[in-house]
Structure 1
Amino acid sequence: MTEESTKATSQGQQSKAVATTEPQKGQLIEGETTADPKKSKAAGQSTQTQLLTLAKFFCLDGALRPPQQQAPIDDRSERRERFNHNRRQQNIEKVIEKSLHYCSDSAISDKADPDWFDQFIEFAERVSNPTMQDLWAKILTGELTHPGAFSLKTLKAFKNLSLSDARLFGKVCSLGLKDNSKKNIRVISGVYQKPSLFNMLSKNREASISLNKFGLSYSEILTLADHHLLFSQETELPPLEKGEELALKYNGIPLIFKAKKADTVIKFYKLTPIGAELAQLIGDKPDDSFLSHMKSKLSHHLSC
């Protein structure tokens, strides 16, 4: 055998070896390990890599392995069921642990409804994000402290919120004003004076607050409306007479608006009853720049 034929044979054997060791498309490499998807960085990863990571983590990668490495379907199903059961158990235990830190040791007269608690468990056990778990823990503590504070409708609405939705709702709460009942939470969007012969042509008859500038566009209002947290249509307060006052609170800061002119109308977006219940989870976080902007825009019609 010549030197050239020997080299060609050697190269052919190497190519064949590479071909036999290369994994088939859609299969995991033998012995490959995947990390917890919550700890993996999605940046720089292909969609295929991300899918394989999720499938591995949630025990759904059985059919992606070479046939000789696949466990029986019954075993794979039991493994996934056991994983889901343990994961939900860990989730709800974490929520309970967090909630305990918010609870007080003071005695209360009313007891929480066991049926409410059972429904709470069903919703909260599917949540693994620490931030969302913390909010679920606050809901539980609030209900234990004041039974009836959070309705089942509110729980159902909250379970459908993503982390980004929850952050958006927190933004709305940071822009909202409460009345003395604390049940009516409004985001003021503008003010105007009802038209008359004396102000019809005035450029200052109406003023709008730039909510979009503070992270609340109309598309985001519609998103919150889809989750039954905020009404999508603007509403108006009854017209204020000249000198009439309106007392509100902005994130714990008392404000008294006094009408400078007759027939002054305040426009706003209002939180739904579900939104008002969930707003209890959000602490007072006033935005000084928004407060200054709001006062400036309302100053022609209202003193504050």
Structure 2
Amino acid sequence: MKITPDPYTSSLPKTKRPTEPSPASRNDNPNQSATQNVQQDTPTHFVRQKILSWFSRVGISPSMAKDPKSQRNTLERRKQIIELQKAANLQAVLNIALNVNITESENDGLDPDWFFAFSNMAEEIHSPGMQELWGKIFAVEVSKPGSFSLRSLQMLKLLTHRDAKVFAKAVSIASRRQHDTIPRILVGFHRKKGILSFFKRAVPEQLNLASVGLSYPDLLALQDMKLLYASEIESGEYAEGQQTRWRCGAEQFTLESKQPGVALVYFKFTAVGGELYKLVPRKQNPAYLSALKDVLSEVFNIH
């Protein structure tokens, strides 16, 4: 990209050189100068109100009493505010769980240890978006105990609503092989190099995930959160004519290898990522599927 000079630079008036202030105007009071600096760093009225609002949610104000008796009352009030907020968080999760449509089952009852561990974590979930996720988890676990491990819940508790949105991007382009429970993000293929390969036209063997909505920083974040494995993985080599059936979102497709020695390249979800994958609505990503098929069609027939 060519960088051009700022067209407005020439029209700006020239800056006058600073002159030495007169003794009468010089500020020799260091305290006054420090006060001015503090005032410049003070947040605006709007920001101050937001700061006060957030701290008030945990029972803290800038003018709290200093005497011991008043301090004890303030601390009791703060504990009450926090406990009320925790109860409100659990109630929100409960209301969501009650409205989840899920098939009843006759499996064993819910593990009490799992439930109390769940409630201790869920009471600290404040974001409405994340509360919805926790409500769905509880409904699924009641219907089918053992669906979600405590390790997955501990990982989920560390996720913010923004993290969940990044994970939803990965889910939208994830595929599952038939009879397999762990999803994968297919990105391309690898094939053994032979003598004849030097005479074939070069083709892209992997697609750029950033072009279909999942950037490289997103991938790194998901790997840091232990939802995706940290490196690409290759499948075993396919024999010529070997078929595998996949499902991505609502679309199913079959890959039939055109030649031997071809392997799929993908990012694999971890066990925790696989459990959370079941909770996120799988939106269709036509751009991803189209780009993936363009790459894979070099070595696979796609039905």
TM-score normalised to the size of structure 1?
0.79
Contact residue 226 and residue 270 of structure 2 kept, 8 A: yes
Select the residue among 222, 243, 246 that pairs with 2:244. 246
Match of 1:231 in 2: 229
Which structure 1 residue ranges, 5 or more long, are not aligned?
A: 1-24, 27-43
For residue 268 of structure 1, give the secondary structure of its aligned residue in structure 2: strand
- How many residue pairs match? The answer is 261
The aligned counterpart of 2:147 is 149
Show the counterpart of 1:36: none
Partner of 1:81: 79
Structure 1 Cα separation of the partners of residues 205 and 102 of structure 2? 46
Query: 1:93, 1:272 → 2: CA distance?
Result: 31
- Assess if the C-alpha contact under 8 Å between 1:193 and 1:205 holds in 2: no
Q: Contact 2:107 / 2:145 at 8 angstroms: preserved in 1?
A: no
**Residues 296 and 205 from structure 1, CA distance in 2 versus in 1: closer, same or farther, beyond 3 angstroms?**
closer
In the superposition, relative to structure 1, how do residues 240 and 75 fare at CA in structure 2: closer, same or farther (>3 Å)?
same
For 1:133-282, list aligned pairs within 5 A. 133-200=131-198, 202-204=200-202, 206-282=204-280
Say which SS state the counterpart of residue 58 (structure 1) adopts.
Answer: coil
The one of 101, 115, 118 equivalent to 2:116 is 118
* Letter paired with 1:60: I
Check conservation: 2:185, 2:267, Cα contact below 8 A. yes
Measure, in 1, the Cα distance between the counterparts of 2:46 and 2:296: 49
Give the ranges of 4+ consecutive aligned residues of structure 1 lying more than 6 Å apart after TM superposition: 66-71
* Letter of the structure 2 residue corresponding to residue 120 of structure 1: F
**Does the residue aligned with 2:254 lie in a helix, a strand or coil?**
strand
Equivalent-residue separation in structure 2 for 1:174 and 1:78 (angstroms): 47
TM-fit CA distance, 1:107? 5.5
RMSD: 2.5
Question: Within 1, Cα distance between the matches of 2:135 and 2:64?
Answer: 43
For 1:156 and 1:130, how far apart are their aligned partners in 2? 18
Q: In the alignment, which residue of structure 2 is the partner of 1:50?
A: 50
| 1:13-56 deviations in Å (ceiling 9; x for gaps) | xxxxxxxxxxxx89xxxxxxxxxxxxxxxxx943x443222112
Please state whether the residue corresponding to 2:119 is helix, strand or coil.
helix
**Is the contact made by 1:193 and 1:264 (CA closer than 8 Å) also made in structure 2?**
yes
- What is the DSSP-based 3-state SS (H/G/I as helix, E as strand, rest coil) of the residue aligned with 1:269? strand
Flag the 1:262–1:133 CA change in 2: closer, same or farther, 3 A.
Answer: same
CA contact (8 A) 2:105 2:144 kept: no
Query: Partner of 1:188: helix, strand, or coil?
Result: strand
User: 1:263 Cα deviation (Å)?
Assistant: 1.2
Taking the aligned partners of 2:168 and 2:230, their CA distance within structure 1 comes to: 17
Compared with structure 1, are the counterparts of its residues 244 and 182 closer, same or farther at alpha carbon in structure 2 (3 Å cutoff)? closer
Q: What's the TM-score once normalised by structure 2's chain length?
A: 0.79
| Structure 2 counterpart of 1:73, one-letter code | Q
C-alpha separation in 2, matches of 1:109 and 1:223 = 36
8 Å contact 1:199–1:205 — kept in the other structure? Answer: no
> What code does the residue aligned with 2:214 have?
L
Q: Secondary structure at the match of 1:207?
A: coil
Question: Distance in 1 between the 2:67 and 2:101 partners?
Answer: 50
CA contact (8 A) 1:89 1:125 kept: yes
Percent identical among aligned pairs is 25
What residue is the counterpart of 2:34 in the other structure? none
Amino acid aligned to 1:56: S
Q: CA deviation at 1:197?
A: 1.4
Instruction: Please give the secondary structure, in 1, of the residue aligned with 2:185.
Output: strand
Q: Which moved more, 1:113-122 or 1:202-211?
A: 202-211
Alignment partner, residue 31 of structure 2 = none
Structure 1, residues 182-217: CA drift from partner, whole Å, max 9, x if none?
412110112132111111464436511110112222
Partner AA of 1:114 in structure 2:
P
Structure 2 vs 1, CA of residues 229 and 65 (structure 1 numbering), >3 Å: closer, same or farther? same
CA contact (8 A) 1:192 1:301 kept: no
